[in-house]
Amino acid sequence: MTQSFYITTPIYYVNAEPHLGHAYSTIVCDAAARFHRLLGDEVRFQTGSDEHGDKIAEAAAREGIAPQAYADRVSRMFRDTWPPLNVSHDNFIRTTDPAHIACVRLILQKIYDAGDIYLGKYGGNYCVGCERFLTDKELVEGKCPDHDRPTQYIEEENYFFRMGAYQQALIAHIQEHPDFIRPERYKNEVLSFLKEPLEDLCISRPKTRLTWGIELPFDGRFVTYVWFDALINYLSGLGYPDEPLMAQFWPAAQHLIAKDILKPHGIYWPTMLMSLAQAEGKPRDAYLYQHLNVHGYWKTGQGKMSKSLGNVVAPLDLARVYGADAFRYFLLRDMAFGLDASFSEEALVERYNADLANDLGNLFSRVLNMLFQYRQGVVPAPGEPQADAQELLALAGRVTQAYARQMEGFHFHLALSEIWQLIGEANRFVVKSEPWVLAKDPGQGARLDAVLGALVQVLGMVAVLIQPAMPQTALAMAQHLKLELPELIGLDRLASADLVVPGTALGKPPALFPRIDTAKVKAKAEKAGAKAAQPALKEKKPVAKEAPAPPAQIEYDDFAKVDLRLGTVLAAEKVGGADRLLKLSIDLGEETGPRTVVAGIALHYAPEELVGRQVVVVANLKPVTLKGVESRGMVLAAVGDDKVRVLSPDTLLPPGSKVR
């Protein structure tokens, strides 16, 4: 059955240019929207700009232009940022759109008529940055802690929304719908706000103080408080109160925000929706959204990103250098949804090289090059079943299901890690099955077909699975594999055996992700870091130190040459005449019995500490003789802070287990 899915980003203030944080929220929504399209759902994805209020009026005044002209310009910057990042929104809403303004006025009137908005008096400490009155408790030394500027005491007549009247109903709804706000930590945060009595919400601003807003329909002396105006974008963007979009998508509404705007979305908005439903004579819960999905904050080296710290990350610059897909992949993979994460260009490059160039890029090119070389590029038909090839395909099926569960729950980093598990296994399958050896033996033709066939099918599945995160790469892979558009394939078809049609002739593969020279990026980052740090380095200048060249990069095949095994230490003793060496007898599960390995760890371990422990051994190292003892292997240890610690698994495994 076709389902509906409506996902929204916050609408961004037009007082700042788009940065990494905005890009993250928007890309997350895009990935969710694309995933639901893959499921075959009817999807609507909305983003936009929030253009009224003091903040915008102030920013426009600073530039000496009218707020509308200012909002037009910055809103355009947001609108222009999304296409190069492959964001596939269906609607870009502006709070200055006449239809939005009419919708806000309609809703205000309905709630007012129903008696949930009243005129009152209010005196308090107002912060222009927050655009709200702060409570005494929130002030730090008379200042707003978020904006580090003094608040103004203001007393004025204003309109209030009876938010407090919905406190108990909201608590009950959250308790009855445990994933109304997710992840759980944010649900708990909202419930803890709600332990205190909920005050009514001041929803107007007198025009004597602010004119840049939507005039209240029932009192022309006031404009609407910017949050009351902005939140309604989620409804006005569907054409509320008109069908058909409302009927189709509102019941399927999910919002996405970062933790900074949890209170307006977790408290103001649901209470507004309850009031509206009641005003229309509907059940109180009728308009409540399905889920509020809340993520953490991206920080850079110096903590929070801000213009004044000069550490704002411009998304389009990164996308230009590394490609939109690599940028999207990094953001989705490196932030555990719900938690904070730190951003650095170096981390992005590391991910790029490891996950994209090495794992995915390498799999794609080696499989298709072999197909080209050994089978003239023709996709083999499934022949005699081969257990290991079947196993790889079975894993792909399991991964598809786990991936879908994780995507549904907004665990993007885990969903991607599922796909990469499959890619890793496919790479290992190449090494183990050695198609280059099979190709030399005419008797192994059927086996070679089965191996290459399974690998090509896995590539087809990967092309579809990565589509929500990396639409361009998915398309490039699909085009090469002569698939339909990945978004048209749909997840349910992945299980079918022959996604890539047997008999199709494929060409030589393009390089998906050419490697990036990390040394160059590091040097660039150090240079930039040194510049940024300069003003702080008054007393002590750091001694310039030549950074050691990073070790040369190796192919996966090089790594796979090292036979790493788990062994249990049966006995340990010092080697006479050498204070650093221990002679270990290690069981590697070999029929030939335990091996003797000499390890240079005597200064760090007493022999008895090691007996019974499992350690990682390089099992195919050429034997050497040290102080008269033949050593057949090497024990791996981590070296740091003058400490040496051997590596051990966190639970015991059979001796001889492969380490990879």
Positions touching ligand MSP (CB under 6 A) are 10-13, 21-22, 24-25, 50, 230-231, 233, 257-258, 260-261, 297-298, 305
- Report the residue number, 25 or 362, with the smaller CB distance to ligand MSP: 25
| Cβ atoms of 119 and 157 closer than 8 Å | yes
Shortest distance (Å) from residue 106 CB to ligand MSP? 18
Q: Is 265 a catalytic residue?
A: no
Shortest distance (Å) from residue 22 CB to ligand MSP? 5
CA 46/CA 11 separation, integer angstroms: 9
Q: How far is CA 542 from the centre of its chain?
A: 36
Among 103, 110, 121, 130, which one carries the catalytic annotation? Answer: 130
Shortest distance (Å) from residue 324 CB to ligand MSP? 18
Q: Where are the alpha helices (DSSP H) in 222-286?
A: 226-231, 233-236, 245-249, 262-263, 269-279
Among 282, 307, 524, 527, which one carries the catalytic annotation? Answer: 307
Among 304, 508, 524, 531, which one carries the catalytic annotation? Answer: 304
- Report the residue number, 261 or 378, with the smaller CB distance to ligand MSP: 261
Residue with the CB atom nearest ligand MSP in the bound state: 21
Q: Is 522 a catalytic residue?
A: no
Residue for token pair 């393009």: 510
Indicate the helix (H) or strand (E) that contains 557: helix 556-560
Reduced DSSP (H G I as helix, E B as strand, rest coil) percent helix, strand, coil of the chain, to 5: 45, 20, 35
| Cβ atoms of 368 and 506 closer than 8 Å | yes
- Report the residue number, 210 or 516, with the smaller CB distance to ligand MSP: 210
Q: Is 202 a catalytic residue?
A: no
| Cβ atoms of 584 and 569 closer than 8 Å | yes
CA 336/CA 351 separation, integer angstroms: 15
- Report the residue number, 93 or 506, with the smaller CB distance to ligand MSP: 93
- Report the residue number, 49 or 353, with the smaller CB distance to ligand MSP: 49
Shortest distance (Å) from residue 312 CB to ligand MSP? 9
Write the Ramachandran bin of 589: left for phi over 0, alpha for psi from -120 to 50, otherwise beta: left
Q: Is 173 a catalytic residue?
A: no
- Report the residue number, 103 or 586, with the smaller CB distance to ligand MSP: 103
Q: CB 76: neighbour CB atoms within 10 A? A: 12
Q: Is 147 a catalytic residue?
A: yes
Q: Determine the length of the chain.
A: 660
CA 21/CA 13 separation, integer angstroms: 12
Indicate the helix (H) or strand (E) that contains 282: none
| Cβ atoms of 167 and 198 closer than 8 Å | yes
Shortest distance (Å) from residue 589 CB to ligand MSP? 48
**Strands laid side by side in the 204-206 sheet:** 204-206, 219-224, 215-216
Q: Is 480 a catalytic residue?
A: no
- Report the residue number, 20 or 371, with the smaller CB distance to ligand MSP: 20
Among 29, 103, 144, 202, which one carries the catalytic annotation? Answer: 144
Sign of the dihedral defined by the CA atoms of residues 302, 306, 311, 314, in that order: positive
User: Which of 548, 559, 525, 529 has its CA nearest to residue 354?
Assistant: 559
CA 596/CA 593 separation, integer angstroms: 10
Shortest distance (Å) from residue 266 CB to ligand MSP? 12
Q: How far is CA 239 from the centre of its chain?
A: 31
Shortest distance (Å) from residue 227 CB to ligand MSP? 7
Q: Is 52 a catalytic residue?
A: no
The two three-digit tokens of residue 178, written as one number = 């445990």
- Report the residue number, 10 or 435, with the smaller CB distance to ligand MSP: 10
The letter for the amino acid at 485 is L
Among 147, 282, 508, 658, which one carries the catalytic annotation? Answer: 147
User: Which of 573, 545, 588 has its CA nearest to residue 629?
Assistant: 573
Among 127, 202, 255, 480, which one carries the catalytic annotation? Answer: 127
Shortest distance (Å) from residue 288 CB to ligand MSP? 16
Shortest distance (Å) from residue 99 CB to ligand MSP? 16
| Cβ atoms of 315 and 327 closer than 8 Å | yes
Q: Is 304 a catalytic residue?
A: yes
- Report the residue number, 253 or 258, with the smaller CB distance to ligand MSP: 258
Catalytic residue numbers read: 19, 22, 127, 130, 144, 147, 304, 307
